[in-house]
């Protein structure tokens, strides 16, 4: 089942953020049964050329490649999709008009404005360009927007009324900062914001997504109604594993000394 179908059926799905600019990180992640990987162009060193080198690390896996673009820019979105990504996440979407721009950038004319120059996404011509043109948006394209400001919360119903958007995604750090309660994730203002996003998604047929700090946080968010779950980042998962292994050995050493 494709990620697009899982989202249509509101099935929980899981991925992680890729920020380390090396294809081996992607290859290692591809051995884990994630539903998707999010290549982060907003807060990491990844750029278009890096993505092209890293993306083949998913060859042979069933994992859907997604990319968070640095801004709501149709040129960047076009280039990312041409590389063969099956979806994008766009930050800082605060109005219905901005949401429309996201969808238009992802779709080919006459509906949208994506330039018709596919490259790696059709395996350099090995796959039929007409088939890609006719089927990609309906069967595979995933469009996610970030809800990370008070303004986005205020305009949420209008934003999610835009046809083509699949996921409303919360970055807890940015949203809590915008609300004036940075990283106070138990603050009533923050918890009410989460409830509002989940309800708005339920009402409009979209899927609520969120970044989590790990498995325990993810369980909590699942119980709250989130379905598109990011299990932290490559670097934080790597550091957590190092700390866990080192602490385990040190605790053993303390017992035997």
Cis, bond preceding 58 (omega within 30 deg of 0): no
How does residue 57 score in pLDDT terms, banded at 50, 70 and 90? very high
pLDDT, tens digit, 9 for 90 and up, residues 115-155: 999 999 999 999 999 999 999 999 999 999 999 999 999 99
* Average pLDDT along the chain: 98
How does residue 72 score in pLDDT terms, banded at 50, 70 and 90? very high
Overall number of domains in the chain: 1
Q: Which domain holds residue 16?
A: 3-256
Domain containing 176 — which CATH number?
3.20.20.60
The pLDDT of residue 114 = 98
Residue 43 a catalytic site member: yes
Catalytic hit among 22, 43, 187, 233 = 43
Crossing angle of the two packed helices 215-224 and 188-204, in degrees rounded to 10: 60
Crossing angle of the two packed helices 74-82 and 96-106, in degrees rounded to 10: 30
Secondary-structure percent of the chain, ordered helix, strand, coil, rounded to 5: 50, 15, 35
Do residues 206 and 10 lie in contact, with contact meaning Cβ atoms separated by under 8 Å?
Answer: no
185: burial class by Cβ within 10 Å (0-12, 13-18, 19+)? middle
């Amino acid at each position: 089942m494709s990620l697009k179908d899982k989202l249509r059926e509101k099935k929980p799905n899981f991925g992680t953020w890729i920020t380390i600019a090396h294809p081996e990180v992607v290859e290692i992640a591809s051995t884990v049964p994630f539903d998707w990987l999010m290549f982060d162009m907003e807060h990491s060193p990844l750029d278009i050329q890096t993505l092209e080198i890293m993306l083949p690390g998913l060859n042979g896996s069933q994992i859907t490649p997604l990319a968070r673009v640095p801004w709501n820019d149709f040129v960047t979105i076009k280039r990312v999709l041409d590389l063969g990504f099956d979806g994008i996440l766009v930050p800082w979407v605060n109005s219905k008009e901005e949401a429309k721009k996201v969808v238009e950038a992802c779709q080919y004319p006459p509906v949208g404005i994506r330039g018709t120059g596919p490259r790696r996404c059709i395996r350099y011509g090995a796959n039929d360009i007409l088939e890609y043109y006719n089927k990609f948006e309906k069967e595979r394209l995933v469009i996610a927007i970030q809800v990370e400001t008070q303004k986005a919360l205020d305009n949420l119903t209008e934003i999610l009324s835009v046809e083509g958007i699949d996921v409303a995604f919360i970055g807890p750090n940015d949203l809590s900062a915008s609300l004036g309660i940075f990283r106070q994730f138990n603050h009533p203002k923050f918890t009410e914001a989460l409830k509002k996003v989940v309800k708005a998604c339920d009402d409009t047929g979209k899927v609520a997504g969120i970044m989590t700090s790990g498995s325990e946080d993810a369980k909590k968010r699942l119980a709250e109604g989130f379905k598109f779950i990011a299990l932290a980042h490559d670097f934080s998962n790597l550091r957590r594993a190092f700390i866990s292994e080192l602490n385990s050995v040190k605790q053993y050493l303390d017992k035997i000394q």
